Structure 1
Amino acid sequence: RTQISLTFDIYYQIYEGSMLIIKVALGHDAPDYRLRHSCPCCHLKVNPSVIYQPFVTSDGNSSLSRLAHHHEVDCHTFENDYCLSWEYVDQFKDEVKYRKNREDISGDGYDIPDQCMGWENAWSSEKQLLTALDETSIYAVVCQHGIVQIFTDMIKSGKLMKNPLACVHKLITTFGSDVMFGYDIACSFLATLRKSSLGSLVWDNNFQVATGAFHGAAHHCTCQLSHIIGMKDGAGLELLEECEQCFSASNAVAIVMWHSSAYH
């Protein structure tokens, strides 16, 4: 078993080294090149009448968790252009703590209905399990055509919201204005976003947050009128529920990931 694992690691290092040489030769080694060209339908802005582009949806998947092992000694780093680094994500770890001291950049003073707060995860009932996990889940951003854009490893992040905030920052700095971002707790996340250090960046670039058609049905009616994707101009028939389709495939490897190293 160990020999097979080591052989695969060596194969992958050779493969990645070869791919890097090819990318350099083709000029595909620029920062965020893969993200900018991952989906031509989303990222080639050829129709000026389109209000929002790209449409992306995001969510966390707790099935893809990994147990903490005290004996773990694998210090390899998995190099790829999909996953945001831990250092990048940790820039936003204190945003929730300080949001009460900041003003809403929009100035509309939107209050989140109590019914929508029921979307908060029951962390207290899972506290014992969470202490046994090193990575509690992954947080992924998928475009409307089902192509993964970026993802982050949620490493004992609790309710810090640093993972979605990091993804928002990456999307704006890469694609600029008029991004439509789907999230099942759009109402509460938008309140956090407007009071975060990204507030002015979000406001200046017309970054929009909407609840997907499936999850939005469980929100308060006033929330639906403001945030559900079907009420957004230019959304058409978009559902913003592609993460569920993506996770239905990735869950097939969940049982293997529970006891793997961080690198694997």
Structure 2
Amino acid sequence: MPHNPLEEPALDNDSLSLKNIELIDVFSRKRTSLRPLLSHTYPNKTLIYHGYLDCLPLYPTVAVSICTLATYRQSHRTWPRFSIQAQCKALCHLHNIRYTICSIPYQSYLNTQFSDAYDVYLEIIHRVDSLINEALDCNTPNWHLLNSCPCCFYKLEDEDNLTFEWLVTINSNNSLKRWSSSIDGSTTRGDLRKFRTDYWLDHTIVDGFKDDVRGRLNTATNNDDWQDIVPPNESAPPFTCIDRWRNAGPEQCKQMFAIFDESGIFIAACRHQFVLLACDMVKSGELAKYPLAIIERLLTVYGQNGACAYDISCAFAKTLANSMLGQRASSLNLRMMVGAFHGHAHNQ
């Protein structure tokens, strides 16, 4: 519904006054009273004027400093496993709450208070960034892909054409797993949040390629991917990297433990290590639908004469040729190759 300021409750001066409010900072915790300015129509305007945010819009009792929220944001970015609960416990230790008089030990409701204030902080950051991007004309479609790496994607006037107009590498990582909430018997809650960045490909886009893979049938009698393979002797057939490379196995073998709802991420990066695209790997291993979705977006944005390095390009090149992208990739002269790091596994 559209926002109607006439429906907002009118607050008197006493309601706007913040009396005996608890202010939480990184190294301090205190109670104080704050008086609003004449221009402040809500208590949170007074709080943010003093550098604090609260989870309640009208009658706040506890507020967290913006400095504390910014510190947690950067800590969480560098180590995603650093949870809000861990942050709240750390604040309790820093404030020495457990040992001071008239104080309380760590309680679970502190997580809710901090989480609500943190959500407000992230929303403010997002809206400020959106206004800046709009003012700088940096919110056009695919702006990130076209401008993330000037060395790769900026072209000078009268510059000679390169053999490869763009060069990227793609691969997956299975360390960013997320536990499924249905495993411990609790009710599964759907995540309705949407990514607000053009870094990420939505799972609906990725699933558009799930039935487009003509999997390679593995006729070997031993399909144990974890078993060591004995090096071939002189009378053995020539080295075949597809049969030895685990990620190049058939699609039906690339499953994931049921306890994980998300099993990792699949990314594309340029040769200067700038991340271009990413997507979640949901309840599966490294299926072909993930690189197919990534390559489809790369072809749409960058066009012809591109090159893509992938550790299983020897097998994936056939999958790409047999997919709905095969003719398009061929007409745009896309070259699949194997990175030098994985050359030893491909007898190079």
For 1:65, give the aligned amino acid. K
The aligned counterpart of 2:112 is: 2
CA contact (8 A) 1:38 1:149 kept: yes
Residue by residue, what CA displacement relative to the aligned partner does 1:55-98 show, whole Å, maximum 9, x if unpaired? 11111000111111124535332321101111111111111148
Change (3 A) 1:3 1:53: farther
**Whole-Å Cα distance in 2 between the matches of residues 94 and 125 of structure 1?**
16
Q: Tell me how far 1:130 sits from its aligned partner.
A: 1.8
Q: Tell me how far 1:23 sits from its aligned partner.
A: 1.6
Secondary structure in 1 aligned to 2:257? helix
For 1:62, give the aligned amino acid. N
Structure ranking higher on relative contact order (CA contacts 8 Å, 6+ apart): 1
**Whole-Å Cα distance in 2 between the matches of residues 115 and 39 of structure 1?**
33
The aligned counterpart of 1:55 is: 167
Write the mapping of 1:43-192 to structure 2, written as runs, cut at 5 A.
43-46=153-156, 47-70=159-182, 71-73=187-189, 74-97=191-214, 114-121=240-247, 130-158=257-285, 160-192=287-319
For 1:90, give the aligned amino acid. D
**Whole-Å Cα distance in 2 between the matches of residues 154 and 165 of structure 1?**
13
CA contact (8 A) 1:99 1:195 kept: no
CA contact (8 A) 1:137 1:154 kept: yes
CA contact (8 A) 2:268 2:276 kept: yes
CA contact (8 A) 2:173 2:264 kept: yes
* Percent sequence identity over aligned pairs: 36
The aligned counterpart of 1:232 is: none
Change (3 A) 1:208 1:154: same
Q: What is the TM-score of this pair, normalised by structure 2?
A: 0.55
Residue 25 of structure 1, aligned match among 123, 135, 141:
135
For 1:131, give the aligned amino acid. A
Q: Structure 1: any 5+ residue segments left out of the alignment?
A: 101-111, 225-264
Q: Tell me how far 1:124 sits from its aligned partner.
A: 9.1
CA contact (8 A) 1:95 1:160 kept: no
CA RMSD in angstroms, aligned pairs only: 2.5
Q: What is the TM-score of this pair, normalised by structure 1?
A: 0.72
Residue 200 of structure 1, aligned match among 323, 327, 347:
327
Greater gyration radius: 2
**Whole-Å Cα distance in 1 between the matches of residues 150 and 176 of structure 2?**
28
Q: Tell me how far 1:143 sits from its aligned partner.
A: 0.7
**Whole-Å Cα distance in 1 between the matches of residues 314 and 254 of structure 2?**
24
CA contact (8 A) 2:170 2:310 kept: yes
**Whole-Å Cα distance in 2 between the matches of residues 90 and 68 of structure 1?**
20
The aligned counterpart of 2:344 is: 217
